[in-house]
Amino acid sequence: MTGATREMFYNEALGEALRLEMERDERVIVLGEDIAEHGGAFQVTAGLLDKFGPTRIRQTPISELGIVGAAVGAALTGLRPVVELMYVDFSGLAMDQLVNQAAQNRFMFGGQARVPMVMRTQGGSGRGNAAQHSKSLEAWFTHVAGLKVVMPSTPADAKGLLTSAIRDDDPVIFLEHKLLYRTKGQVPSGEYLVPLGKADVKRAGTDLTIVTWSREVLFSLEAAGKLAADGIEAEVIDLRSLVPLDRDAVLASVRRTHRLLVVHEAIKRGGYGGEIAAIVAEEAFDDLDAPPRRLAGLETPIPYAQHLEKTVVPQVDDIVRVAKELVA
């Protein structure tokens, strides 16, 4: 980052991106549950109603299908809607609009129709919200042609990626981890964009490559610090965007370190980590000194009890343990 910065919470950085884009482009509107007077479940839209009014900050009923359907229609008619769903767990209710409408209109109409909308929502565990409010469902969306999928881990990336997502002419699924909202970091002031599809090396290393995203980036960085104390230098790559994917960054790192560990919170079976491991196996097999490893969520609903919750998704010590096995 260059230029002036200031320390902000993750949710504040998202709110600033929304405010700046609404000031810049009057076509940007926001729709969702409790986003107006209440400012959203995690206060991302706090203050926007007073500044932009109820025409552009649209409070909606609790109807995920209706909210997303309205956003698709608004986007097709020239607006740039940003939808907030309270929990990714309920995005399934809106899948017909996302999969059969938002993702495909551009292709079905030969590029004459575009759906420039963003669907923001949050997921992940760690807050005792139990099975129906703690899922990590990014793999659902990455499987749909026509959707872009973004998962920022830091306040600066949250601001820059949301700005780019709003300006994108395709539908973007923007997934935020609920335990990142109150994390702090330096955020560039004013207009700030992070391109979609550009990974970030959060920590350089030589002995293994850890590919990760969202909250597991923070865990992986802490794990890399512990590994360094034992003489193991792990490179931590934050994908930031799963679609489009920065394949070159992953392959270049693995070709230098010769070992791959993919870490994500979502359930391992059918998870996006399998895609990363497959790409490396197909395109960099001869560069590997060990089989790729995946460390991910267990195949179980997220428990309510917090001491159990931590046992089903990767924690810092889990990453340290598997990394040491990989380099042994």
pLDDT digits (tens, 9 = 90+) for 21-60: 999 999 999 999 999 999 999 999 999 999 999 999 999 9
Residues 6+ apart with CB under 8 A from 250: 199, 209, 211, 237, 239, 260, 276, 279, 280
Quick one: angle between helices 215-229 and 316-327, nearest 10?
Answer: 50
Locate 129 and state its tokens.
Answer: 């919200």
Catalytic residues: 64, 133
Q: Is the distance from CB of 75 to CB of 115 less than 8 angstroms?
A: yes
Residue-level pLDDT at 1: 64
pLDDT in tens, the chain (328 residues): 668 999 999 999 999 999 999 999 999 999 999 999 999 999 999 999 999 999 999 999 999 999 999 999 999 999 999 999 999 999 999 999 999 999 999 999 999 999 999 999 999 998 888 888 999 999 999 999 999 999 999 999 999 999 999 999 999 999 999 999 999 999 999 999 999 999 999 999 999 999 999 999 999 999 999 999 999 999 999 999 999 999 999 999 999 999 999 999 999 999 999 999 999 999 999 999 999 999 999 999 999 998 899 999 999 999 999 999 999 9
Per the DSSP assignment, residues forming a β-bridge with 81 are 29
Q: What's the Cα-to-Cα distance from 316 to each of 55, 146, 214, 232, 271, rounded to whole Å?
A: 45, 34, 14, 15, 19
Of residues 161, 169, 212, the one with CA closest to residue 188: 161
Q: Residues near 246 by Cβ (< 8 Å), separated by ≥ 6? A: 197, 198, 199, 239, 240
pLDDT of the residue at 2: 65
CA angle, corner 267, sides to 264 and 269, nearest 5? Answer: 110
- What spatial distance separates the first Cα and last Cα of the chain, rounded to whole Å? 36
Q: What is the H or E stretch that residue 286 is in?
A: none
Contacts of 282 (CB under 8 A, 6+ apart): none
Written as six digits, the tokens of 10 are: 């993750």
- Which are the contacts of 317, defined by CB distance < 8 A and separation ≥ 6? 223
Determine the pLDDT at residue 128: 86
**Does residue 244 have a cis bond before it (omega within 30 degrees)?**
yes
| Collapsed DSSP state (helix, strand, coil) of residue 38 | coil
